[in-house]
């Protein structure tokens, strides 16, 4: 289908890391059903390494593909590296997204950050609050497009 | 993989008869109907023959049929013309509905910016409005009532003859966007009290890029494209004769087979509705009975329409949805919202629009595959999880 790259279609029709993690160390949920996109990310963390990650997504093809790709990109990585993941990197890894679908990659970035923040909160780990803006605030969406 | 095309409200495949009718004008009869010589006059005869045949299908006079580039142009011309001519008499009020096609809605929005006042009648949850509601909205300064014949998304068929009668009694011009109706359900401009009507050939197995505007004699019609004297000075530009010839053939064929097609499609439609509503937490949009024989529009809770369409496409099923993602905007279909559906439900809509080329086997394939895709998407949906855990109430 011309709307999406082959990679998007691959990650949409065969999504990686779909599901839930029981007793996850961090859970992040962003988006809302009214707008048509909700992403929920579950993290299993050991010694600051993301040893497992799963997602559930309500949304369009690119939202599901972005979730799948983003989880692939952070699996097995240290938290510090996961925090550097940008929406642009997710979109690039998918060989690009249509301009009006870039917000799906933003949701993926935000969902991961929200899950990590949840992990920090649950474990009493200190962090700079400025680095974790509230993703439910629509104005905070920062879309990097080129 | 076999393609199962069930998006006939978007466009249809051309019929063999329409293609045959078109071919001589692509190869052979190339004249310009405005030319004085024989080659031109032969073309002119074909053009007028097509006009007469289309007029017969609509039950009007040939001179009341103006060829256009399609339904959108016809809507634009009819509405603008009636508005401007109303304004000349100090009438600057227009009545329409909240769930018209964008060709009508966007024209009206523009007119509002130009100083017209538009009443958008609210649509009931069943996708209908009544003639009484139209009558109650008519004022001294109402220049035009424009109400679609049948809705393109939810397939409801509006009480056009009754609305026309109310308008006629009050002396208000009545236009109907009949793009989804012509060739599919009985249309009779005289019997249904219609002053202006828009139609599009590619919705009834004709070619794309051609349509017509019916404008009753005595209703003033303004020139829409300036230039030559084609279409009785109302629409300049050398006529799309090949498209017009195909349109006449397609419309005659559609009208001749209407009863048979309608019976066949109603059975297929009802089987789809029955089969798909077995999916839990699903809902049919639009009145069950007062709907086009071809239209099925169903919402599935907890999923999003674009992902549903893509997965169906991977199975060869071509359908459409009113989800925001398919429209390129953040809001789902204005039609589904006009019916009062909440955003999250409207996002999960699926429209299947049949044609007589579809088969019972195709319908069984759809009934078999759609529930599987819905279940798959629900299994990965956090919205569905919340609904199933009872954290949020089911809305349908």
> Among all residues of chain B, which has the CA nearest to that of A58?
B381
Q: Measured between beta carbons, which residues in chain A are less than 8 angstroms from residue B311?
A: 13
Q: Round to whole Å and give the CA distance between B221 and B83.
A: 10
Mean pLDDT of chain A: 89
Q: Do A13 and B324 touch (CB under 8 A)?
A: no
Q: Do B347 and A63 touch (CB under 8 A)?
A: no
A residues 18-37 closer than 8 Å to B (CB):
18-19, 29, 33-37
Q: Round to whole Å and give the CA distance between A62 and A8.
A: 7
* CA nearest to A42, candidates A32, A52, A31, A57: A52
Q: Round to whole Å and give the CA distance between B183 and B180.
A: 8
Tokens (6 digits) for B334: 């204005």
| Residue B19: burial class (beta carbons within 10 Å; 0-12, 13-18, 19+) | middle
Q: Round to whole Å and give the CA distance between B310 and B317.
A: 9
How far are the Cα atoms of B2, B348, B381 from residue B369, in angstroms, in the given order?
14, 16, 19
The verdict on residue A140 lying in a domain is no
Q: Do B325 and A18 touch (CB under 8 A)?
A: no
- Choosing among A34, A58, A143, which should be mutated to test the B contact, i.e. which has the most B CBs within 10 A? A58
Q: Round to whole Å and give the CA distance between B395 and B375.
A: 18
Q: Do B303 and A57 touch (CB under 8 A)?
A: no
The verdict on residue A16 lying in a domain is yes
Which residue of the set B57, B60, B318, B325 is catalytic?
B325
Q: Which CATH number does the domain housing residue A63 bear?
A: 3.90.1010.10
The verdict on residue A118 lying in a domain is yes
Letter string b/e over residues A117-141, b meaning 16 or more CB atoms within 10 A of that residue's CB: bbbeeeeeeeeeeeebeebeeeeee
Q: Do B306 and A60 touch (CB under 8 A)?
A: yes
Torsion sign, CA atoms B254, B258, B262, B268: negative
The verdict on residue A137 lying in a domain is no
- Choosing among A9, A60, A62, which should be mutated to test the B contact, i.e. which has the most B CBs within 10 A? A60
- Do B146 and B139 touch, CB atoms closer than 8 A? no
| Residue B153: burial class (beta carbons within 10 Å; 0-12, 13-18, 19+) | buried
The verdict on residue A141 lying in a domain is no
**A33 pLDDT more than 90:** no
Task: Tell me the whole-structure pTM to 2 decimals.
Answer: 0.92
Find the CB nearest B382 among A29, A36, A101: A29
Tokens (6 digits) for B103: 């060709």
Q: Do B323 and A36 touch (CB under 8 A)?
A: yes
Q: Round to whole Å and give the CA distance between B59 and B63.
A: 12
Query: Which residues of A are marked as active site?
Result: 35, 104
The verdict on residue A42 lying in a domain is yes
Helix (H) or strand (E) holding B253: helix B241-256
Q: Round to whole Å and give the CA distance between B91 and B194.
A: 20
Structural domain boundaries, residue A76: 6-128
Cβ of residue A54 closer than 8 Å to a chain B Cβ: no
Cβ of residue A61 closer than 8 Å to a chain B Cβ: yes
Q: Do B343 and A40 touch (CB under 8 A)?
A: no
Cβ of residue A12 closer than 8 Å to a chain B Cβ: yes
Encode chain B (396 residues) as per-residue pLDDT tens digits: 899 999 999 999 999 999 999 999 999 999 999 999 999 999 999 999 999 999 999 999 999 999 999 999 999 999 999 999 999 999 999 999 999 999 999 999 999 999 999 999 999 999 999 999 999 999 999 999 999 999 999 999 999 999 999 999 999 999 999 999 999 999 999 999 999 999 999 999 999 999 999 999 999 999 999 999 999 999 999 999 999 999 999 999 999 999 999 999 999 999 999 999 999 999 999 999 999 999 999 999 999 999 999 999 999 999 999 876 665 566 789 999 999 999 989 999 999 999 999 999 999 999 999 999 999 999 999 999 999 999 999 999
The verdict on residue A37 lying in a domain is yes
Global ipTM: 0.88
- Do B301 and B385 touch, CB atoms closer than 8 A? no
Band the pLDDT of A32: cuts 50, 70, 90.
confident
How far are the Cα atoms of A59, B285, B302, B379 from residue B387, in angstroms, in the given order?
16, 21, 8, 12
> Among all residues of chain B, which has the CA nearest to that of A62?
B307
First to last CA, chain A: 23
DSSP 8-state assignment for residue B150: B
Task: Report the number of distinct structural domains present in chain A.
Answer: 1
Tokens (6 digits) for B324: 């925001």
Q: Which value, in Å, is the radius of gyration of the alpha carbons in chain A?
A: 14
> How many C-alpha atoms does B48 have within 13 Å on its Cβ side?
11
Give CB contacts under 8 A, 24+ apart, made by B28-34.
B29/B241, B32/B238, B33/B230, B33/B238, B33/B239, B33/B241, B34/B228, B34/B229, B34/B230, B34/B238
- Choosing among B299, B320, B378, B382, which should be mutated to test the A contact, i.e. which has the most A CBs within 10 A? B382
Cβ of residue A99 closer than 8 Å to a chain B Cβ: no
Q: Round to whole Å and give the CA distance between B196 and B66.
A: 11
The reply to whether B299 belongs to the active site is no
Tokens (6 digits) for B274: 């029955």
Query: 3-class SS at A55?
Result: strand
The verdict on residue A100 lying in a domain is yes
Which residue(s) pair with B117 in the sheet? B93
Q: Do B381 and A36 touch (CB under 8 A)?
A: no
């Amino acid at each position: 289908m011309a709307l999406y790259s082959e990679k998007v279609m691959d990650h949409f029709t065969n999504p990686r890391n779909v599901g839930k993690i029981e007793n996850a160390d961090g859970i992040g949920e962003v988006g809302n059903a009214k707008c048509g996109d909700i992403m929920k990310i579950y993290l299993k963390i050991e010694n600051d390494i993301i040893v497992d990650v799963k997602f559930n997504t309500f949304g369009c093809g690119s939202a599901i593909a972005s979730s799948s790709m983003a989880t692939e990109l952070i699996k097995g990585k240290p938290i510090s590296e996961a925090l550097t993941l940008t929406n642009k990197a997710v979109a690039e890894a998918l060989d690009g997204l249509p301009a009006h679908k870039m917000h799906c990659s933003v949701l993926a970035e935000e969902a991961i950050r929200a899950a990590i923040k949840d992990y920090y909160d649950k474990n009493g780990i200190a962090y700079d609050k400025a680095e974790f803006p509230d993703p439910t605030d629509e104005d905070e969406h920062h879309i990097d497009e080129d | 993989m076999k393609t199962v095309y069930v998006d006939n409200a978007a466009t249809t495949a051309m019929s063999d008869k329409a293609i045959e009718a078109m071919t001589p004008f692509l190869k052979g009869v190339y004249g310009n109907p405005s030319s004085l010589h024989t080659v031109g006059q032969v073309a002119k005869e074909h053009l007028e023959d097509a006009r007469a045949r289309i007029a017969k299908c609509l039950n009007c006079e040939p001179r009341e049929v103006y060829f256009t580039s399609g339904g959108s142009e016809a809507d634009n011309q009819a509405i603008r013309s009636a508005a401007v001519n109303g304004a000349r008499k100090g009438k600057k009020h227009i009545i329409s509905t909240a769930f018209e096609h964008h060709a009508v809605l966007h024209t009206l929005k523009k007119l509002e910016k130009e100083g017209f006042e538009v009443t958008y009648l609210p649509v009931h949850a069943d996708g209908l409005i009544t003639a009484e509601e139209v009558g109650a909205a008519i004022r001294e300064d109402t220049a035009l009532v424009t109400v679609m014949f049948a809705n393109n998304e939810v397939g409801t068929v509006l009480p056009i003859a009754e609305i026309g009668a109310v308008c006629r009694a009050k002396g208000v011009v009545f236009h109907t966007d009949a793009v989804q109706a012509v060739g599919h359900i009985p249309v009779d401009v005289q019997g249904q009290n219609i002053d202006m009507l828009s139609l599009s050939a590619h919705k009834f197995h004709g070619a794309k890029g051609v349509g017509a505007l019916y404008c009753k004699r005595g209703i003033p019609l303004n020139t829409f494209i300036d230039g030559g004297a084609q279409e009785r000075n109302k629409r300049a530009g050398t006529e799309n004769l090949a498209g017009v010839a195909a349109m006449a053939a397609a419309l005659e064929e559609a009208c001749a087979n209407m009863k048979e097609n309608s019976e066949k499609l109603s059975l297929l439609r009802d089987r789809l509705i029955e089969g798909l509503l077995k999916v839990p937490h699903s809902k049919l949009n639009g009145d069950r009975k007062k709907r086009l024989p071809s239209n099925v529009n169903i919402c599935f809770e907890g999923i999003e329409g674009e992902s549903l369409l893509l997965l169906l496409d991977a199975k060869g099923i071509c359908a459409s949805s009113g989800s925001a993602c398919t429209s390129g905007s953040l809001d789902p279909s204005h039609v589904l919202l006009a019916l009062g559906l909440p955003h999250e439900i409207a996002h999960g809509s699926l429209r299947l629009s049949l044609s007589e080329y579809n088969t019972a086997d195709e319908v069984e394939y759809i009934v078999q595959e759609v529930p599987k895709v819905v279940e798959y998407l629900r299994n990965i949906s956090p919205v569905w999880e919340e609904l199933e855990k009872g954290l949020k109430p089911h809305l349908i």
